[in-house]
Amino acid sequence: MNLIHFLNKMLQICNQITQELFMSEVNTIESTLQENRLFEPSKGFVSNSPMNADALASLYQKAEEDYEGFWGDLARKEIAWVKPFTKTLDESNAPKFTWFEDGELNVSYNCIDRHLVSSQHKTAIIFEGERGDTRYITYGELAEEVNKFANALRAQGVGKGDRVVIYMPMIPEAVFAMQACARIGAIHSVVFGGFSAEALGDRIEDTQAKVVVTADGGYRAGRIVKLKENVDKALANRCDSVKKVIVLNRTDNDVIWQEGRDIWWHEAVANMPTECKPMVMKAEDPLFILYTSGSTGKPKGIQHSSAGYLLGSIMTMKWVFDVRPEHDIYWCTADVGWITGHSYVAYGPLAVGATMLMYEGAPTVPDAGRFWKIIEDHKVTTFYTAPTAIRALMKSGDDYPNRYDLSSLRLLGTVGEPINPEAWMWYHNVIGYENCPIVDTWWQTETGMNMIAPIPSVTPTKPGSCTRPLPGIMAAIVDEEGHEITQPNQGGYLVIKKPWPAMLRTVWGDDARYKETYFSLFGNDMYIAGDNARRDEDGYIWIMGRVDDVLNVSGHRLGTMEIESALVAHPKVAEAAIVGRPHDIKGESVMAFVVPKGNRPVQGDDTQLIQELRDWVADQIGPIAKPDVIRFSDNLPKTRSGKIMRRLLRQIAKGEAINQDTSTLENEDIIKQLQGKA
Ligand code: WT7
């Protein structure tokens, strides 16, 4: 594209108003999203990248012509197998798919041991604590730490297939613990440190974990998060499966000790050998379970495989992050409690032998310049974060980033929710010095790997679009009948038409729920992502929000029903409905409409109950699920058949005019109550 053309496009956009990203009813909406700016990869980036347009085109062609051959060749090339596989994909038991099934490997061997010959002294992890403590861990040291902890887990009775729940701060030991599980074939389930004791207990129960690995505390936003205390609460009167709790001393805060059950990490590893033979695992053996919210019921334990999952992280580290292990410092800010922290902290960067950075704390400690200072101090080349963080830091002003030298950066990434063009432009200009491609990566806990994202040396980007599906990812947008939508800019269901190696294998212990959630709508060969999306004239994909009752708060997935169940479990609540409300930093925030038992507190008199309910939700689920706004009403608006009128509630939450028939309501007054006007 020549310069004039480009400038024209820029001019065009000046006339456009901000893009609107909305939760819409699927299919019928013709989107008003308009974003025509196109950013070509910078010249310097292109000339240094091993990937060019021709190489990419042949990848797509190969995937199109010989799908199994495409993934099979990559798996043979990129994974160190103990025993090679003979069959790539088995679809005979669809929608339960298996990949590389008769192959054998060990994931931790692939992430650590295979780099030791050439990179034993290379830094694997750069760690920075919130209070400024730093650590540099080489691949050689990583091997020793992981092996010692793997031996310690074994000594505590953990064997192949056993579950280990990890509830840790963002510190290297969290990665050691995950890798140690992989080494001995135990299945880890990391629970985000921001989840409450109650939520932790639910996950421990569901996995029937034998061991919980935690820390006395972690530093976050200037405070100590008391993780061990939450574990004690979670285990009180339930979770009988748990035999041992291994506790890392991170903060030296006081903890209550249960003799016989609790054991300090440093004592557990004290006499352990620094070698631990990796357990030979089958390709399909589960590597981990990670819980995520859906529109119904309790959070689902998403079960991932060993080989297919590993391949997904490796390929996307190369394709999307263009990783050059020789000189990159790769920093993904996600917590290991989320899938991003699995694929792009604990596994991907190590599997390709890169140097990665981990930061323990909040982006605003001691001030909003912390991320930028870390980038300068450690010469970070690749930075991957969430739109909510970008928006929050943008709001703090340009002074913070301008204080630091960010010229080491060569690639920026975003994940978790659609990024608004304003935040994209700021990221591009102020952080990337107009010189770093931005990879907007669409994927999910279930997909295991980036699915729709630019190839930074090839794909021109548009602010707000995750661009095109990666090679070998057969994404499509379909209508209610499952027919592909060919017209541009028509919204529809985002689906994946073929199984891919890193996909979830099932919902832990619940195949029926797996089939029902992901394959019931369009049959066994179409995975339903749960997102609404459209493709523009150039074939670029734009994610338009969830089609189900799932909220995306600061890039975190929250089921409305989960929060509703938490609320109605409160003795003063009769009924509750949760909807999302647009929020300029979080993307969406939680809004609750509550019918209290007994008399409805009038406005002004309701602050105490609001506080009580907010704290209650934080206790039941975690602070991220706390409603920002709670409104009380005598009733919830329902249709004649008794369904809560959620669209109406969403309109109220957005402060929009109500264009729905409310004649079924017994009491028209409740609209005013819901609007906070009565
Ligand atoms: C949901 C998945 C995958 C890691 C983080 C979230 C939304 C994710 C994007 C993006 C627009 C996105 C989708 C998706 N989402 N990435 N780049 N653009 N939306 O994982 O908790 O499993 O949530 O996050 O709605 O379905 P998750």
d(CA 489, CA 568): 40
Ligand 1 nearest-atom number relative to CA 466: 17
- Residue 345 contacts residue 113 (beta carbons within 8 Å): no
d(CA 399, CA 630): 36
Nearest CA to ligand 1 atom 17: 442
Angle at 255 between CA 194 and CA 196, to 5 degrees: 20
Give the residue, out of 26, 543, 546, with the most ligand 1 atoms within 8 A of its beta carbon, to mutate for a pocket test. Answer: 543
Residue 624 burial (CB count, 10 A):
18
Q: Dihedrals φ, ψ of 160, to 5°?
A: -55, 135
Ligand 1 nearest-atom number relative to CA 414: 17
d(CA 531, CA 321): 24
Locate 340 and state its tokens: 């991003």
d(CA 71, CA 553): 34
Nearest CA to ligand 1 atom 6: 416
Give the residue, out of 22, 190, 415, 550, with the most ligand 1 atoms within 8 A of its beta carbon, to mutate for a pocket test. Answer: 415
d(CA 445, CA 290): 8
Compute the distance from residue 67 Cα to the ligand 1 centre, in Å. 25
Tell me which DSSP letter residue 469 carries.
B
Cα→Cα distances 108→146, 180, 208, 318, Å: 9, 7, 23, 19
d(CA 627, CA 625): 6
Locate 350 and state its tokens: 């190590």
Please give the span between the terminal C-alpha atoms of the chain, in angstroms, as a whole number.
Answer: 57
Ligand 1 nearest-atom number relative to CA 545: 25
- List CB contacts of 31: < 8 A, sequence separation 6 or more: 489, 491, 534, 542, 544
Omega before 421 within 30 of 0, i.e. cis: no
Compute the distance from residue 255 Cα to the ligand 1 centre, in Å. 36
d(CA 511, CA 264): 37
* String of DSSP letters for 202-233: HHHHHHT-SEEEEES-EEETTEEE-HHHHHHH
User: Which tens digit of pLDDT belongs to each residue from 356-387?
Assistant: 999 999 999 999 999 999 999 999 999 999 99
Pairing verdict, β 355-359 and 329-332 = parallel
Nearest CA to ligand 1 atom 27: 444
Compute the distance from residue 415 Cα to the ligand 1 centre, in Å. 6
Pairing verdict, β 411-415 and 382-385 = parallel
Q: Which parts of the chain register pLDDT below 50?
A: 1, 6-33
Cα→Cα distances 51→45, 321, 458, 469, Å: 10, 11, 7, 16
d(CA 478, CA 494): 7
Give the residue, out of 290, 336, 444, with the most ligand 1 atoms within 8 A of its beta carbon, to mutate for a pocket test. Answer: 444
Ligand 1 nearest-atom number relative to CA 556: 21
- Residue 400 contacts residue 368 (beta carbons within 8 Å): yes
- Residue 416 contacts residue 339 (beta carbons within 8 Å): no
Compute the distance from residue 607 Cα to the ligand 1 centre, in Å. 34
pLDDT at 482: 96
Locate 285 and state its tokens: 């053996």
Which of left, alpha, beta for 264 (phi over 0: left; psi -120 to 50: alpha)? beta
Q: Name the burial class of residue 519, with classes exposed (0-12), middle (13-18) and buried (19+) by CB atoms within 10 angstroms of its CB.
A: middle
Compute the distance from residue 418 Cα to the ligand 1 centre, in Å. 8
d(CA 388, CA 588): 10
Ligand 1 nearest-atom number relative to CA 550: 25
- Residue 350 contacts residue 124 (beta carbons within 8 Å): yes
pLDDT at 25: 32
Locate 10 and state its tokens: 């820029």
Give the residue, out of 195, 384, 552, with the most ligand 1 atoms within 8 A of its beta carbon, to mutate for a pocket test. Answer: 552
Compute the distance from residue 637 Cα to the ligand 1 centre, in Å. 30
Nearest CA to ligand 1 atom 24: 416
Ligand 1 nearest-atom number relative to CA 443: 3
- Residue 300 contacts residue 509 (beta carbons within 8 Å): no
d(CA 559, CA 436): 35
Ligand 1 nearest-atom number relative to CA 446: 22
* String of DSSP letters for 72-115: HHHHHHHS--SB--S--EE-TTTTS-EESTT-EE-HHIIIIIHH
Give residue ranges with CB within 6 A of ligand 1: 292, 339-340, 415-418, 440-445, 466, 529-531, 543, 546, 552, 555, 557
d(CA 247, CA 212): 8
Which of left, alpha, beta for 610 (phi over 0: left; psi -120 to 50: alpha)? alpha
Q: Please give the model's pTM, rounded to 2 decimal places.
A: 0.92
Compute the distance from residue 553 Cα to the ligand 1 centre, in Å. 11
Q: Please give the torsion angle defined by the CA atoms of residues 88, 92, 93 and 95, in that order, rounded to the nearest 10 degrees.
A: 70
d(CA 560, CA 577): 8
Q: Please give the torsion angle defined by the CA atoms of residues 423, 424, 425 and 428, in that order, rounded to the nearest 10 degrees.
A: 120
Compute the distance from residue 506 Cα to the ligand 1 centre, in Å. 19
Pairing verdict, β 300-305 and 286-292 = antiparallel
Compute the distance from residue 291 Cα to the ligand 1 centre, in Å. 14
Which of 15, 34, 175 shows the shortest CA–CA distance to 534? Answer: 34
Locate 513 and state its tokens: 């729920």
Give the residue, out of 442, 507, 548, 562, with the most ligand 1 atoms within 8 A of its beta carbon, to mutate for a pocket test. Answer: 442
